[in-house]
A and B are shown apart, each in its own frame.
Chain A
Amino acid sequence: MGPLIVNEIISSNTNLLIAFFIGIGFGFVLEANGFSSSRRLAGMFYGYDTTVLKVFFTAAITAGIGLLFLSLFGWIDLSFIYINPTFLWSAIGGGVIMGAGFILGGYCPGTSFCAAAIGKLDALAFIGGILIGIVIFMEGYPLWEGFFKAKYMGSPLLSDWLNMSRGLLAFLIAIVAIGMFWVGEWAEKKFARDDYEINQH
């Protein structure tokens, strides 16, 4: 039966409405997890706070295993799920730019809006930076069009590449994730800071 919109069970307008509520839920969870604090986000890079890793990997393995179960029950056709196509060089370049911006600014694009919503001025500055970056990218597009479109790889899947079933890969990722959570909590003790308390308010 799923995806709902492809099989015309709901209209695209209803889809937008649902997306609106999911967006509110997403923002709520981000804020509830303290993702509007740039110290918490930057803590990921220094090891004193690994909440980011835990939240996003929990979301990823929950969604991954959930989708596979829905597919198992015949409730969703996975071949209709959009998979972002891979342009290798722009993916690497974009990752470097985003990572550098993350360390410098203390936010990622989504959390900056979350922080701006609770009135943080540095987040507003960060959003200004995003807009400037968008303008530079668009206006200078002919300069990096070649790089942007280089090394198109379609939508490769890790499970195809490793030649294993999606379910097995999801299970292995879940094990790796829980291992990482353990390492993360160890790091939080090891790199703990006197002036920073996890889950502070």
Chain B
Amino acid sequence: MKPRLILASVILPLGLIIAAVPPNTTKAYKLTAEQLLNEVRENLQFIHPDQVADMLIQKDPSLQLIDVRSKAEFEKFSLPGAINVPLENLLSEDYEYDINQDVKLNVFYSNGSTDANEAWMITRQLGYKNNYVLQGGLNYWVETIMNPEKPASTSPNEEIAKYDFRKAAGSALGGGGGDIEPAATELDAPAAAPPVIKNKKKKRVQGGC
């Protein structure tokens, strides 16, 4: 038999099969259930409002707040510089560029933390990097940054410094912070340690003749 005929009798049936089956569009999940459970248990996804406030005040360009509430709620109130990605549109192609990236620190937030956590869990499973959740959501944000509770005068200095920072931040970000001493913004960085930003680039496999 001629090589051409052998080739044809192998390639053509295979080609017919591949033409007939639908393309595989499922995306493999990148984490095992166990790995994800560990991350959830250790609350690795949370970023404290103090840190977000600090980044906002310093106009840190790497911060990207993502509001996962509905459009109506987003228009009513949103954090400065936030973009609106309603949870039901999370997987829409329009937003993939914002969510699947390795440059910015994405912080999901909603009113509480449930919706934001759901968004985080889905994107984490897809293997997207640099997505986090605002701890406690907007409710906790208002509680800590916008209307911080004055600690008792016998509190440790750290507590008072934290309070001063929150008061200053709240007022800078449009809350009812009240009187601020000028020194307040120069206080120590907030308690929450900055998360380690993994800068793993997705390398594409290069090829050529």
A interface with B by C-beta (< 8 Å)? 1, 3, 5-7, 12, 58, 61-62, 65, 68-69, 71-74, 77, 80-82, 84, 108-110, 165-168, 170-172, 174-175, 177-178, 181-182, 185
Q: Are A168 and B11 in contact (CB under 8 A)?
A: no
Interface hit among B12-20, B42-50, B137-145, B167-175: B12-20
Is B153 on the interface with A (CB-CB < 8 A)? no
Residues of B near A108 (CB, < 8 A) are 209
Is B208 on the interface with A (CB-CB < 8 A)? yes
**A193 CB to closest chain B CB, in angstroms?**
21
Is B41 on the interface with A (CB-CB < 8 A)? no
B interface with A by C-beta (< 8 Å)? 4, 7-8, 11-12, 14-16, 18-24, 26-28, 30, 202-209
Q: Are A167 and B203 in contact (CB under 8 A)?
A: no
- Partner of B26 from A74, A82, A170 at Cβ < 8 Å: A74
Expressed in whole angstroms, the Cα–Cα distance for A172 and B26 within the complex equals: 25
Nearest B residue to A165 via CB reads B23
Q: Are B4 and A178 in contact (CB under 8 A)?
A: yes
Show 22 residue pairs from A and B whose CB-CB distance is below 8 angstroms, ordered by the A residue: A6-B203, A6-B205, A61-B11, A61-B15, A62-B11, A71-B24, A74-B26, A74-B28, A80-B202, A81-B205, A82-B205, A82-B207, A84-B208, A108-B209, A109-B209, A165-B19, A167-B15, A170-B18, A170-B19, A171-B16, A181-B4, A182-B4
**B78 CB to closest chain A CB, in angstroms?**
32
Expressed in whole angstroms, the Cα–Cα distance for A82 and B18 within the complex equals: 21
Expressed in whole angstroms, the Cα–Cα distance for A3 and B202 within the complex equals: 11
Q: Are A6 and B15 in contact (CB under 8 A)?
A: no
Q: Are A65 and B14 in contact (CB under 8 A)?
A: yes
Q: Are B7 and A178 in contact (CB under 8 A)?
A: yes
- Partner of A80 from B7, B11, B204 at Cβ < 8 Å: B204
Nearest B residue to A26 via CB reads B209
Expressed in whole angstroms, the Cα–Cα distance for A181 and B26 within the complex equals: 36
Most buried by A among B15, B20, B203: B15
Nearest B residue to A182 via CB reads B4
Q: Are B19 and A168 in contact (CB under 8 A)?
A: yes
Expressed in whole angstroms, the Cα–Cα distance for A1 and B14 within the complex equals: 22
**A139 CB to closest chain B CB, in angstroms?**
23
- Partner of A72 from B4, B21, B27 at Cβ < 8 Å: B21
